[in-house]
Amino acid sequence: MWWSRLVLLGLFVLAGCGWQPLYGRNSSGEGGDAAPQLATVHIQPIADRTGQQLYNMLRDRMNPQGVPADPQYDLVVTLKEQAVQQLIQQNQTASRINLNFTASYQLFPRGQQAAVFQGQARTTTSYDLLVDPYASVVSADDAKRRGAQSLADEISNRLAAFLAQPSSS
């Protein structure tokens, strides 16, 4: 029962600091402009297989209906991937790989050259190098998919927070 009081206290603190919901509306009808704004963003294609996965995940989060009918913004994403060998064995072979992903992104109003919002998202995933080569390839593909998923979550959340601001509309 003590935890319910803690949650209630947390809600009062949030209510007093000007917090507004990102996707829904509060009791005064404020907030919740992110979903329609995200649906106006056209995502430029991203190179490589992991970039294609990132593109698809961003599109699913930002505009589940597909390509925007009347895009207001263009999102340009550049993805960098670096593999770092970990857990070096006595025979000098690695048994684990860390994949470091960095996605630089810029949001442009449609037809303009100056970005109104930009940033970087980073994540690291890892996988084991196994005796079976096929299993290692599957593990690597899964690690890349998880990395793209993490980047898509971070980028779409940051864009939603930016686009929900009254001054960005």
Give the tens place of pLDDT for each residue, 4-17: 666 666 655 555 55
Domain with residue 153: its CATH number is: 3.30.160.150
User: Measured in Å, how far apart are the chain's first and last C-alpha atoms?
Assistant: 43
pLDDT band at 27 (very low <50, low <70, confident <90, very high): very low
Q: Would 19 be classed as within a structural domain?
A: no
Tell me the pTM.
Answer: 0.78
Decide if pLDDT at 129 tops 50: yes
Residues β-bridged to residue 106: 76, 118
User: Would residue 10 count as lying in a domain?
Assistant: no
What is the number of domains present in the chain?
1
CA–CA distance, 162 with 168 (Å, rounded to integer): 7
Is residue 1, in this structure, part of any structural domain at all? no
Q: Is 4 part of any domain? A: no
- Please state, rounded to an integer, the average pLDDT across all residues of the chain: 83
- The yes-or-no verdict on residue 1 having pLDDT over 80 is no
Q: Which domain holds residue 110?
A: 33-168
**For residue 131, pLDDT beyond 70:** yes
Which carries the bigger pLDDT value, residue 21 or residue 59?
Answer: 59
Residue 141 lies in a domain: yes
